[in-house]
Amino acid sequence: MTGVCRVGDLGVGVCPHHSSPQNYTTIFVSGIENVTSDDLQICVVGTIGVSTCGHPTIALTGSDIVTADGIGIHRVGDMGANYGPYTAVGGSDNVTSE
């Protein structure tokens, strides 16, 4: 079990779409409106993020078992990408998912 990601949580990765690869942090900015954890919207596969390298990110992996509105919940350790991949590193300390 691992923490579920929420709007405002973070992922970290490397974007190769620059003259030299850049480390970036993404902050999740979209979620499921009617499903919350700790009063924050839950992130799912397809969640959009804004990265420090200037490119939007999208959540690509999530739970095959636990869903919100039928879409897999994005959790700490799940992956997403802009031009380069990220790993979700921030999530709820109180709500976990398989």
Domains of the chain: 2-90 (2.60.200.60)
Closest CA relative to residue 21, chosen from 55, 46, 50, 45: 55
Residue 62 DSSP label:
-
Closest CA relative to residue 12, chosen from 91, 92, 86: 86
Q: What is the pLDDT of residues 12-34, one digit of tens each?
A: 999 999 999 999 999 999 999 99
pLDDT at 1: 80
Flag whether pLDDT at 98 surpasses 80: no
| Confidence band for 96, pLDDT divided at 50, 70 and 90 | confident
Do 8 and 97 meet the contact criterion of CB atoms below 8 Å apart? no
Q: What is the pLDDT of residues 26-67, one digit of tens each?
A: 999 999 999 999 999 999 999 999 999 999 999 999 999 999
